[in-house]
């Protein structure tokens, strides 16, 4: 049984992940798309993030937004 959060244990994304993801999409929309690995590189190049975990979470948020077609 997975519980309310599913397999990953990640429920709702923290606001700082969303805020940074939205800001990156707004300032550099051409840099991000449907590919997680490309988005990881884009986050690394366009934001100063000291943690690989946070970078991956931001890239995952951006990827999920692109793949589900959500605008905001």
In order, the DSSP letters of 27-60 are H-GGG--S-HHHHHHHHHHHS--S-HHHHHHHHH
pLDDT of residue 2: 46
pLDDT of residue 13: 78
44-52 contacts at long range (C-beta below 8 A, 24 or more positions apart): 47/20, 49/20
Q: Full-prediction pTM beyond 0.85?
A: no
- CB atoms under 10 Å from CB of 63, counted, come to 20
- CB atoms under 10 Å from CB of 55, counted, come to 18
Mean pLDDT, range 46-71, rounded to an integer: 91
- Reference 47, options 66, 26, 69, 33; nearest CA is 26
Domains of the chain (ranges, CATH numbers): 15-68 (1.10.60.20)
- What pLDDT, in 10s, does the model give residues 6-57? 555 566 779 999 999 999 999 999 999 999 999 999 999 999 999 999 999 9
């Amino acid at each position: 049984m997975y519980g309310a959060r599913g397999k990953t244990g990640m429920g709702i994304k923290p606001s700082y992940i969303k805020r940074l993801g939205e800001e990156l999409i707004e300032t550099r929309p051409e840099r991000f798309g449907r590919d997680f690995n490309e988005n990881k590189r884009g986050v690394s190049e366009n934001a100063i993030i000291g943690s690989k975990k946070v970078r991956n979470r931001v890239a995952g948020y951006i990827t999920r937004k692109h793949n589900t077609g959500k605008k905001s």
